Amino acid sequence: MFLDDPKTRKALTQWAVGTVAVCILIFLGVRYVSSIALAIEWLIGLVKPLLIGAMLAMVLSVPMGYIEKHLFRKNPTPRKKKARRPLAILLSLILVIGIFAGIAVLVIPELTGAVSIVISSITNGLDQLAALESSDDFAKLPYAAYLEKVDIDWITLKAQLENWMQKLSSTILDSTASALGSIATSLIDGIVAFVFCIYVLANKETLNRQFGRLARAWLPDRFTDSISHIFAVCGDVFQQFIVGQTTEAVILGTLCGVGMAILRIPYAPMVGALVGVTALIPYVGAFLATIVGAFMILTVNPFKALVFVIYLLALQQVEGNLIYPRVVGAKINLPAMWVLAAITVGGNLAGPIGMLLGVPAASAAYALIREATQKRESEKCKQNIQLQ
């Protein structure tokens, strides 16, 4: 009997115990799925500042690596080498914060002014309609007889609109006041995330070496090699994605700004910068910039707003079919269908951050599954050759 072999009995016992354990875990997972979800949510909330800091470190490591590589290349004294990493971190922070602060300074005042213009135009238009309805010129309008049958109290409508705006402003203020209560907690989390980010950037080689020692000491060698390979693929894919996405955003923003300047469309520098920043969110970001830009241009020149929408839609087609596949797609090697799926799933899970991180995560998973599939196919091919 094959059960007389100790190795066979041991392997069969391990398989039976493993199968029963997996079935029990699946049953418990389905039975207590809500409790498990709450436990995971509690755990994520517990380490949330550290996760945010790690994500910031991953983003900042891209410009930091480039800056550090080119700092003090000539005559690198020991003092310069020691100052290279802190200076690279500082310059990376100044670069990233400066870009977003500059965009905010450009966009927020203009957007606020555009909203004020729209509200003022609506209220003034209602006043003019009310005055026109009570004047003698109203009877001279085309279809005046039919318009008189439309009973609209423009003054009341204006009062209702102003009342609605006041209530909306009060709601916003109340929401802001209620949010002030959590500012202290958010500020503490932000400080912890920032400090952790700086620590990770400053000691990334040491941390990598420490995690490697822990893994080799406590985990099987095969499992350690697999984990190391997964992290290496994820890190490389994420770095390539950040570089490619940033390059594509700069190209798209520049083309948008230059095209708007040639077409004499208002707010060319500001909208171009906004398009470039929002393009960091693949596919979806450019549409958000289109809506905001068209709204702002509409307050100055409605015809130019239409021209802007047509131009940007055409530019997005060029970007999606020529620029993005060559600049980003070639780097992350992910088909467009899975890019769209990653954006959709990531956006539903974590909003704009999920949209941004979903693509490199899907690309890393795609690369790992492709490697495993190729390895599996190679093993099956060798087995078939041996059987023949």
Q: Which residues of 45-81 are buried (b: 16+ CB within 10 A; e: fewer)?
A: eeeebeebbebbbbbbbbbbeebbeebeeeeeeeeee
Instruction: Give CA–CA dist 131/363, Å, rounded.
Output: 62
Q: Which residues contact 363 (CB under 8 A, 6 or more apart)?
A: 237, 241, 332, 333, 334, 342
Tens of pLDDT, residue by residue over 196-213, are 889 988 888 888 888 888
Please give the share of the chain, as a percent, with pLDDT higher than 90: 0
Confidence (pLDDT) at 168: 60
Q: Which residues contact 351 (CB under 8 A, 6 or more apart)?
A: none
State the pTM of this model: 0.66
Least confident of 3-7, 19-23, 80-84, 130-134: 130-134
The whole-angstrom separation of Cα 277 and Cα 289 is 9
- Gap between the Cα atoms of 366 and 385, Å rounded: 28
The per-residue pLDDT for range 310-363, each reduced to its tens digit, is: 988 888 787 766 766 666 666 666 776 777 777 777 777 766 667 767 777 888
Contact 234, 364 (CB under 8 A): yes
Residue 181 has pLDDT above 60, yes or no: no
Q: Structural domain boundaries of the chain?
A: 220-284+303-380
Residue 230 above 80 pLDDT? yes
User: Can you tell me the distance from the alpha carbon of 192 to that of 194, in angstroms, rounded to the nearest whole number?
Assistant: 5
Point out the least confidently predicted range of 54-58, 84-88, 107-111, 211-215.
107-111
